[in-house]
A = this chain, B = another copy of it.
Amino acid sequence: MLGAPLTSARAALRVVAAVLLAGCVLRAAVPPAPAPLGAWRDGEARRRIVRFVEEVTTPGGADFVPPAERVAAFDLDGTLWVERPRYIAVEFELESIRARAEREPALRSVEPYRAVYWGDLRWLERLDPRKLFTLFINTHADVPEAAYVEEVRRFLASRRHARLGRPFRDLAYLPMVELIAYLEDHDFRVHIVTGGELGFARTVAEEIYGVPVENVVASAVRYRFRENAAGGEIIRGKLLLFNDEAGKPANIQLHVGRRPILAFGNSDGDVEMLEFAAGSAHPSLSLVLRHDDAEREYAYDDRTEEVRARARRRGWTVVSMRDDFATVFAPPGG
């Protein structure tokens, strides 16, 4: 009953927004900003970010936040890099599972190897996404973490995105890479907080964003330590922690123990993390990236209804990929 009028109001707002945002003239009029954040256009979003960082880092200022408490939390998929047509981690899983079924024919009758190997997409799509994620991650159980990370590295460097034609590791949004560096230059501790899996996300964080592995909060398996003559090794177990929705603030508490003062997300899975930052006793900034650039990346709004409604209600900063990103990706080989 409540849903209908709200939905129409939202639909109407969306039409208004679409009209407002449609002006190519408006976009062309905003030139790229100077460094830092040179891949951003000099619009309201960039101005809010710069103003916020200046406020919390000005010693003696009313809004000063000590460096130890300058925690920033970034979602990964769809916030720091491309998540379409599939999560890059899912591309990795499909390839890894297929390769394993190639090597071990006996697995071809065991799920999820069977479905992946024979391309039974209907079976895969019928599963609850969380259950599918668990099945995929658990295929690496009993594998040493070092071997798993090596497999992730090879995948990131060698495989390409079909439509965009770049290696997956080049799918990072340049404005976000700049923003992370800008925050770190101002003594923020930037964390990547993702629903994806920890070992995968750590590899991405370190190789692509220069975020240290200890600053990654993610869905995680139970690890175990196996002693051996070579100094022992860490072995992966089965999935233990989910890091999505309300799990994000909970796992930030578990891993970091501090409330972020800046959070950046793009989907409904980030709502609680954005609220967590917004509720800080310090000044805070919650940001939402909108995928509205079909030409340079993708344009889609699914799984964003709640986050966009909250952004309007709570005054969070919505970043438009089309209007706020002067450049989306670093030049090839850059």
Contacts and interface: CB of A to CB of B under 8 A. Distances in A.
A254 interface: yes
A253 interface: yes
Nearest to A205: B257
Nearest to A230: B279
Given A222-B250, A223-B250, A232 B202 contact: no
B272 A249 contact: no
Nearest to A231: B279
A201 to B, nearest CB: 10
Given A198-B254, A214-B255, A230-B279, A249 B225 contact: yes
A323 interface: no
Given A225-B246, A234-B250, A213 B257 contact: yes
Given A198-B254, A223-B253, A231 B68 contact: no
B275 A246 contact: no
A220 B234 CA distance: 20
A141 interface: no
Interface string A249-274: 11101111110000000000000100
Given A232-B249, A249-B234, A223 B254 contact: yes
A253 B234 contact: yes
Given A214-B256, A214-B257, A272 B225 contact: yes
A125 interface: no
Interface residues of A, number: 36
Nearest to A278: B231
Interface string A204-215: 000000001110
A77 B226 CA distance: 25
A223 B225 CA distance: 25
A185 interface: no
Contacts of A258: 213-214
A225 to B, nearest CB: 4
A248 B234 CA distance: 11
Contacts of A279: 230-232
A280 interface: yes
Interface in A162-211: 189, 198, 202
Contact of A232 (B255, B257, B275): B275
Interface in A225-255: 225, 227, 230-232, 234, 246, 248-251, 253-255
Contacts of A222: 250
5 contacts: A213-B258, A223-B250, A224-B250, A225-B276, A234-B250
Given A68-B212, A202-B257, A230-B279, 8 more contacts: A145-B253, A198-B257, A214-B257, A222-B250, A223-B251, A224-B246, A225-B253, A225-B276
Question: Which 5 residue pairs of A and B lie closest in terms of their CB atoms, listed nearest first?
Answer: A231-B279, A225-B249, A213-B257, A223-B250, A223-B253
Interface of A: 68, 145, 189, 198, 202, 212-214, 216, 220, 222-225, 227, 230-232, 234, 246, 248-251, 253-258, 272, 275-276, 278-280
